Structure 1
Amino acid sequence: MDWSHVTYLRVLIRPVLIASITIFICVFWIQSNSSDIDIKSAQHGHQLAVQSVQLCPLISPRLIGWTNLSLEAMSAISKEDEGIVELRMKQSGVKPGGRYEPSRCQSRHKVAIIVPVRNRTEHLAVFLRYMHPFLQRQQLSYAIFVVEQSERSPFNRGMLMNIGFKEAQLSQEEYQCVILHDVDMLPEHDGNPYTCPEDGKPRQMAFSVDHWNNYNSVSWNFLGAVTAMSANDFQRINGYSNAFWGWGGEDDQLFQRTKSQNLTVVRAFDGTVSQVVHYKTMSHPRATPNPDRMSVINEGWKKFQTDGLVDLRYTRLSLKLEPLCTRIVVDIQPYNITT
């Protein structure tokens, strides 16, 4: 064997091997660092995207003002095809459970709308179809919780409101406030703010209603029909009383509870009656008043701390994330309210 050729090959191959190894190491280093750079770039891009979503304006540019809510208009809303309505709502951004948040800005308010019902199918259909576009024009982040009572006991609006509040909390969404809303009440003007009130200042919203003396203001101590309250304040007053079975009384005692905790009930636009704060009422048979409501109201001062959210008892029969609302069906029964 000619060893000179072997030596020559070693001399020739060694730098090639060294160069190949060097190139491999460089390529591996570049790829590894490129992945890190991509990850960091993606993270940075996400941060920039989050930062680029500005808060929604204090006054939404999407407001249209007054809406005609004549009997004919409401009838037309109720007769719309359900599938077409649900498709339109989905395209507008409404998610299952009746949840919505603006896509082009970050809402300043996260609101839970709580609606107690029983045997009000037609009213609920009109309410949901009307209120979603209304709330969206205000650029709110919101969800609509419909709490439906079974047939076994007299209607208890206050307890259903408490249940809606608790179920909204169980949804693990951090709602800043609740709007406690009767299903037969529709705001006529989208300049009527469904925003969250300040802590300590619950807002009485339905104080100018069509069937109450042709939109004249209700009494100063009325706190019902449509009321906005911060989540902190609703906890602070222990919610509604659970003791009012049948029509009437629970909103009177709600006002007492706010006063007992030194909360100041306010009205939109300082209580000025104008078209902006008008409400239209969907007609329905008048309920029979609860004959015991006055005695329950008079005894209520002694039970604020023990009758309400803290002793709430109910059986949830179903919870469905429907296209336009979170529907919660419950069974509730009278029980002894502790003193």
Structure 2
Amino acid sequence: MRNACKKKVLYCGIIIIVLIIFLHPDMNARRSYEYIEKELIPDTLYEETAVNFTSSAILECDYHDVLFDDTTLSDSLVDGDLIEGHRIREGGEFSPSDCKPKFSTAVIVPYRDRAEQLRGFLVYMHMFLRRQSIHYRIFVVEQVDTRPFNRAKLLNIGALAAMRAGYPCLVLHDVDLLPLRPANLYACTKCPRHMSSSINKFRFVLPYLNLFGGAIAITSHQYKTINGMSNEYFGWGGEDDDLYARMESEELKMCRFEPENSRYHMMSHKSQHTGDRRKQVVKYEKNGISDDGLKNLKYTEVATVLHPLFTHIMVDL
């Protein structure tokens, strides 16, 4: 009887150890996908600033310290306020004053009905991005009609606005994601980059290799090449896989940074209605992408307001 109890305890102990190993946040995170080695990142960056952007600084910004920054920020920063003298210009635009940046990035956020989350996101992102010595501007595109949410179409609208403003790099960004490592540079690489490959919701492990959503960086030229995203995905789901299929059709290879520097915290929110096309992955022919995307984008611009922390584009789809 005593030996039977010992065996049960031993088996339980083994099961607990296996579960701890399997459920550990870092389980297989490093080896789950190919990534650009930190030392090689500078050679892969797409260096270009926005049209008409000028800087009075003489020396160019150096990004070595940013890329090798081991700091991890706390998501509790969303509950704070920006420091005084933050030098963020109207419309949510910032550039460093002590050096001339090599990158101009438009951060585009699709949005509806998450006011408190947006406030925290803006405070956090400005504190995060100001550390990176880049020129950036945050565009928030809000859907004000009552139709199901169309994330991809809102991103297309924001991308067009950013490109008209001369931004060469687009970061398509969900409002509930917060980057935790300042080394995750918000600049484009020469290949489209999946930035949010390690999210706390998924225990910082990439769910599947072809995932290309959450936060991504893509050049304006590349976004035009694939004709942006589909305008047909009303409701949540499917548009990211659709985007990946478009990139494949144009032979654009995705890249990532290492998992440790690609960590994000997902803020909690209510589940959204999923769209009817969420399980479909469209395999576009090279000429097929011209039928649905930037080129046939239709919407009504209700208003565009330059707030202190962001450019607010309100649209009716």
Partner of 1:156: 150
Offset of residue 51 of structure 1:
8.7
Partner of 1:181: 173
Measure the CA separation in 2 of the matches of 1:279 and 1:191: 12
Q: 2:243 matched to 1:251?
A: no
Offset of residue 133 of structure 1:
1.6
- Identify, as 1 or 2, the structure richer in helix: 1
Partner of 1:215: 204
Amino acid at match of 2:116: E
The residue correspondences of 1:1-339 to structure 2 (distance < 5 A) are: 53-60=58-65, 65-69=71-75, 73-74=76-77, 76-77=79-80, 80=81, 85=82, 88=83, 91-170=85-164, 172=165, 174-198=166-190, 201-212=191-202, 214-268=203-257, 272-274=258-260, 276-295=261-280, 297-298=281-282, 301=285, 303-332=288-317
Amino acid at match of 2:61: C
Amino acid at match of 1:116: P
Offset of residue 74 of structure 1:
5.0
Runs of 5+ unmatched residues, structure 2: 1-54
Measure the CA separation in 2 of the matches of 1:160 and 1:309: 11
Offset of residue 197 of structure 1:
1.3
Pick closer, same or farther for the CA change 1:177–1:75 going to 2, 3 Å: closer
Offset of residue 76 of structure 1:
2.8
* Per-residue CA distance 1:116-162 (angstroms, 9 max, x = gap): 00001111101100111211100010000000001321100000000
* Per-residue CA distance 1:33-53 (angstroms, 9 max, x = gap): xxxxxxxxxxxxxxxxx7961
**Larger RCO (alpha carbons 8 Å, 6+ apart):** 2
Larger Rg: 1 or 2? 1
Q: How many positions carry a matched residue from both structures?
A: 262
Instruction: Check conservation: 1:178, 1:229, Cα contact below 8 A.
Output: yes
Instruction: Check conservation: 1:155, 1:245, Cα contact below 8 A.
Output: yes
Offset of residue 104 of structure 1:
1.1
Structure-2-length-normalised TM-score: 0.78
Measure the CA separation in 1 of the matches of 2:123 and 2:188: 22
Measure the CA separation in 2 of the matches of 1:281 and 1:298: 28
Offset of residue 67 of structure 1:
1.1
Structure-1-length-normalised TM-score: 0.73
Measure the CA separation in 2 of the matches of 1:76 and 1:158: 29
Measure the CA separation in 2 of the matches of 1:300 and 1:328: 30
Instruction: Check conservation: 2:227, 2:294, Cα contact below 8 A.
Output: yes
* Per-residue CA distance 1:44-73 (angstroms, 9 max, x = gap): xxxxxx79611100224695711122xxx2
How much is the aligned-residue C-alpha RMSD, in angstroms? 2.1
Runs of 5+ unmatched residues, structure 1: 1-49, 333-339
Instruction: Check conservation: 1:60, 1:138, Cα contact below 8 A.
Output: no
Q: Percent identical across equivalent pairs?
A: 36
Measure the CA separation in 2 of the matches of 1:264 and 1:76: 38
